[in-house]
């Protein structure tokens, strides 16, 4: 018989090694479908690398992709640390985008240094509001937040469609379901001339730094971890479990909302129903790959963004389906879950019958 037992403290080496090994293994496993597609594997990986590191444009594109992933990855990290399974970052992202459009398309006439913070705050508030409902239902009635946040994503998306074909529709948009553009003072500045990477990246990095400090050094983070690891003991010790969960929910939702602000005010300039190719969901993979560490989120967001951007280039150059990127992302999640398990548990051969 083989028995599974928890390891003594997993070593630092394991906690760092597992995600890296998982990511590499996922990339390696992708060679199998690549080979089936008839591609030269070496060349394919070469094209992928070129798509990320081949030029300033390639590299900044990758960072542009990484920006919303850092935000949604942080959103998942904060929530998951409290064992609050927020699967609704996708919806909260769109709520953030909507809020950006509401306040950023002419409602307020102010200089950039006023308008940009206002837009950011509105987006964060909207995202937080989107998570407040499910969190309230969970803490008050025990409703499963996985179900409520997931379903809310679809409701929000349909609501967005309604708004974009109604009150928020651009009258000059020739009937397309898109919003008016954000006014010039509300646009997040570019970081590199003529490249799409924008100040949202800086905000994302700052958010990761703040999240790291809050989680590891603040009383709030202490409570969050305590509630996540053992809510019963936290309650017994006098920690307000509901309040802590509510706080985690609001911060998580706000971070996801900021992802939407970045896409609208930094990248597109206006809101459509397709600003996110599932950043909210991919953020979960980013967070898991990062071992729920805010600093790790930055690295894993860059990795996942590289896969996406690299796979785009590869598919164009070699005629392989770009869905391969999704495959690698999915594989790395599986690898990190299995890897994380082996980091925490070990398999022990036991004598027959011993229990």
Partner 1 sequence: MSQPRVLNLNAMSKRFGSVVANDAVSIELNRGEVLALLGENGAGKTTLMNMLFGHYLPDSGSIEVADADGKMQPLTLGHPQAALEAGIGMVHQHFTLAENLTALDNILLGAESLFSWRHKRREAKKKVAAIMARTGLLAPLDEKVGQLTVGERQRVEILKALYHDARILVLDEPTAVLTPQEADTLFENIGAMTKDGLSVIFISHKLREVLAFSQRIVVLRHGKKVGEIATDDADQQVIARMMVGEDTPAIPREMLKPGAPVLALKSLTVKGRSARTSLHAADLLIRAHEVVGIAGVSGNGQTALARVISGLEAPDGGEMWVGDTRILRFTPPVMQEAGIGRIPEDRHHDGVIGEMSVAENLVIERLGDPLVQNHGFLRQKEILTHAEELSRTYDIRGPGIEAEARLLSGGNIQKLILARVFEGQPQFILANQPTRGLDMGAAGEVARRLLEARTRGAGVLLISEDLDEILALSDRVMVIHDGRLSAAPDKDRAKIGLMMAGEPV
Which residues contribute to the site for partner 1 (CB under 8 A)? 8-9, 217-220, 222-223, 225-226, 229-230, 232-240, 352-355
User: What letter would DSSP give residue 262?
Assistant: I
User: What letter would DSSP give residue 182?
Assistant: P
* Cβ 333 to partner 1 shortest distance, Å: 22
Q: Of 55 and 216, which has the nearer Cβ to partner 1?
A: 216
- CA distance to 24, 56, 58, 129, 281, per residue, from 63 (Å): 20, 11, 9, 28, 18
* Cβ 226 to partner 1 shortest distance, Å: 5
How crowded is residue 303: how many other Cβ atoms within 10 Å of its Cβ? 25
* Cβ 354 to partner 1 shortest distance, Å: 5
The C-alpha atoms of residue 303 and residue 329 are separated, in whole angstroms, by 10
Q: Of 129 and 235, which has the nearer Cβ to partner 1?
A: 235
Residues in the chain: 355
Query: Is the separation of the CB atoms in 264 and 95 below 8 Å?
Result: no
* Cβ 339 to partner 1 shortest distance, Å: 18
The C-alpha atoms of residue 193 and residue 101 are separated, in whole angstroms, by 24
Checking 245-248 for CB contacts under 8 A at 24+ apart, the result is: 245/82, 245/84, 245/135, 245/138, 245/139, 246/132, 246/135, 246/136, 246/139, 247/220, 248/78, 248/79, 248/81, 248/82, 248/84, 248/135, 248/224
Which residues, in sequence order, are CB contacts of 238 under 8 Å at separation 6+? none
* Cβ 291 to partner 1 shortest distance, Å: 13
Q: Of 14 and 220, which has the nearer Cβ to partner 1?
A: 220
Query: Is the separation of the CB atoms in 52 and 309 below 8 Å?
Result: yes
Q: Of 8 and 184, which has the nearer Cβ to partner 1?
A: 8
The C-alpha atoms of residue 171 and residue 206 are separated, in whole angstroms, by 36
Query: Is the separation of the CB atoms in 101 and 180 below 8 Å?
Result: yes
Q: Of 9 and 174, which has the nearer Cβ to partner 1?
A: 9
* Cβ 303 to partner 1 shortest distance, Å: 26
The burial class, CB within 10 Å (0-12 / 13-18 / 19+), for 293 is: buried
Query: Is the separation of the CB atoms in 216 and 83 below 8 Å?
Result: no
């Amino acid at each position: 018989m083989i028995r599974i037992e928890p390891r003594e403290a997993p070593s630092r080496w394991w906690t760092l090694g597992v995600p890296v090994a998982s990511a590499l293994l996922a990339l390696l496993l992708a060679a199998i479908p690549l080979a089936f597609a008839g591609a030269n594997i070496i060349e394919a990986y070469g094209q992928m690398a070129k798509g990320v590191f081949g030029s300033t444009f390639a590299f900044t594109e990758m960072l542009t992709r990484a920006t919303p992933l850092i935000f949604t990855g942080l959103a998942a990290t904060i929530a998951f640390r409290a064992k609050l399974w927020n699967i609704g970052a996708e919806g909260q992202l769109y709520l953030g985008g909507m809020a950006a459009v509401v306040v950023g398309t002419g409602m307020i006439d102010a200089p950039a240094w006023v308008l940009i913070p206002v837009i950011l705050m509105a987006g964060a508030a909207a995202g937080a509001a989107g998570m407040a409902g499910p969190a309230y239902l969970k803490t008050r009635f025990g409703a499963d937040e996985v179900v409520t946040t997931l379903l809310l994503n679809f409701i929000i998306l349909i609501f967005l469609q309604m708004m974009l074909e109604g009150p928020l529709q651009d009258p000059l948009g020739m009937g397309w379901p898109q919003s008016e553009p954000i006014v010039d003072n509300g646009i997040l500045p570019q970081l590199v001339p003529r490249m799409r990477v924008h100040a949202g990246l800086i905000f994302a990095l700052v958010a990761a730094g703040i999240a790291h400090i809050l989680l590891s050094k603040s009383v709030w983070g202490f409570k969050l971890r305590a509630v996540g690891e053992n809510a019963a003991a936290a309650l017994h010790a006098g920690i307000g479990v509901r309040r802590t969960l509510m706080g985690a929910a609001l911060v998580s939702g706000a971070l996801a909302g900021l992802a939407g602000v970045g896409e609208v005010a930094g990248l597109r300039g206006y809101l459509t129903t397709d600003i996110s190719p599932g950043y909210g969901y991919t953020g979960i993979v980013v967070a898991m790959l990062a071992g729920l560490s805010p600093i790790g989120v930055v690295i894993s967001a860059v990795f996942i963004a590289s896969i996406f951007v690299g796979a785009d280039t590869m598919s164009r150059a070699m005629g392989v389906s770009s869905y391969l990127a999704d495959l690698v992302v999915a594989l790395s999640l599986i690898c990190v879950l299995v890897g994380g398990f082996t980091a925490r548990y070990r398999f022990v051969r036991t004598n027959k019958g011993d229990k």
